[in-house]
Structure 1
Amino acid sequence: MRNLFAFIYRFRAFLIFVMLEALCIFLIVRYNTYQGAAVFNSANTYVGQVLEFQSGITDYFRLASVNSTLARENAALRQELMLYQLEAQADSTDKLDTVFYAPSDSSRAHPFMLHAGRVINNSVRRTNNYLTLAAGSQDGVKPGMGVISPNGAVGRVKTVSKHYATVTSLLHSQMLISAKIKKDNTFGTIKWMGGDYRTALLDYIPLHVKPAKGDTVVTSGYNTVFPEGIMVGTISSVAKEADKSFYTIRVKLAVDFAQLSFVYVVDNPRRVEQDSLELEAGILPHE
């Protein structure tokens, strides 16, 4: 306390000067319209800049929460889009002779649901690549479910814990995806052969078909993992080899696996029923 009084006594003249200056500024601003408006506008500018800086810092630390919310909203919107596409296909069948085909209401019910998940680990340089998602059993994720991104097919869920899930990437030597050429519905299988993570092979396309560079390849829907019509990629090259009965077709994948951040896990409530029926009939499921 003694030091404080000593400090005030030592700088008493300067402190009195500062107080009088502050009083003068207050009186000028308070009783002069022009000066008051100028100070008010300047203060608003600086305060606005400070608040903007503060808001930027706050928003930065909220990005993870905001992205998760947006991913859930996008999952709901994408699910609605899939429902719309399914209904459009069903409406087209209504034009057929109802004696041979009468679509029921149950056939219009969209069987797929989407769960958003954030990618927290990913690999693209190995022979067998995996992803890890920050979504688990408490989020409705189960082993065997398909995984897609806004750009196309990604892989299939392998293991699940309460909060996390591992995914067998399309960039895996044992991962096969049932696909088709969109323009003529020719069925084949997508398989990654290693090397370039942006390119895969489309196998089992017979020689009587006429695939061309630039043709779109989508999921066939011949399984319980992926809905029909999910983008896989576009044909980048077509080769006919003398000793083979199928084309050698390379596909440029639509998904850039090196930049995955959020994905959607595909939940098919009818999967168990279809899988058990095909297993009972001795039918090997398509990948």
Structure 2
Amino acid sequence: MFSNAKLNERIAFGLLKLATGMVVVFVLVILYYIVSNGYSALSIEFISEMPRKGMTEGGIYPAIVGTIYLIVGSIAVAMPLGMLTAIYLTEYSRPGKTTWIIEMAINNLAGTPSVVFGLFGLAMFVKYLDFGPSILSASLTLALLILPVIIRASQEALLTVPKDYREASLALGVTKWETIRRVVLPAAIPGMITGAILGIGRVAGETAPILLTGAAYFLPRLPDSVYSQFMALPYHLYVLATSGTNIAQTRPIQYGTALVLLIIILGVNLVAVTIRSHYKNKIKR
């Protein structure tokens, strides 16, 4: 007979395994649905050509390029800013009013709906700073959107580094900044990159912020600068599926667009995971 503690442990592990299995099943079902409906639309022409006839023909090449620009631009802004904020909060700040205000601001940003970020981006970057509807406006808006995720993930990664590492380095006469740069950061980088991975997935799938800051439904050309309007896969898919004039006719394009978006997210995440694994292996050595 099992003791009560053993029985409770088995029940808990059983529920955890059940929950994990359900998540995996849901993910596989969604993947199967998108792949089975979208693979027929994939071709070299679909990926490399410009759209034609109001997006009822041609490809989605400008939307692919625009999505990649958004991912790179937002991560380039949010990742260093988020990491530096996390370093300040974890390594330098002391309990007090300033720290409390910063923490509250981060928590409020994390709970703010994406459409509010879009409205802020429209008011601040598009209108006030006069960047106009552009890649720059959209990238800065998305950077603010994912900033809380990167800050929190970076904080958790820094907190997992044992205090003994810091104390041993400081005891040898190394400055605090050098200790952070040479001892703490290398150990925390894998966890900090995890925050970037989470941010990438959210950036690639957001529609409301880019809708208000520069995305266009039908723009059969590539952006020539950061101040240009652009096409993007999530907004393109949204319009095709809800507001297009030929929804039934463009259905294969809808699923094909969703599949391409999924492939891009998985590809970028794979690169980030590879970088994280590289740093983990360096730490083990």
TM-score (norm 2): 0.21
- Higher-RCO chain (CA-CA 8 Å, sequence separation at least 6): 2
- Which has the larger strand fraction? 1
* Larger of the two Rg values belongs to structure: 1
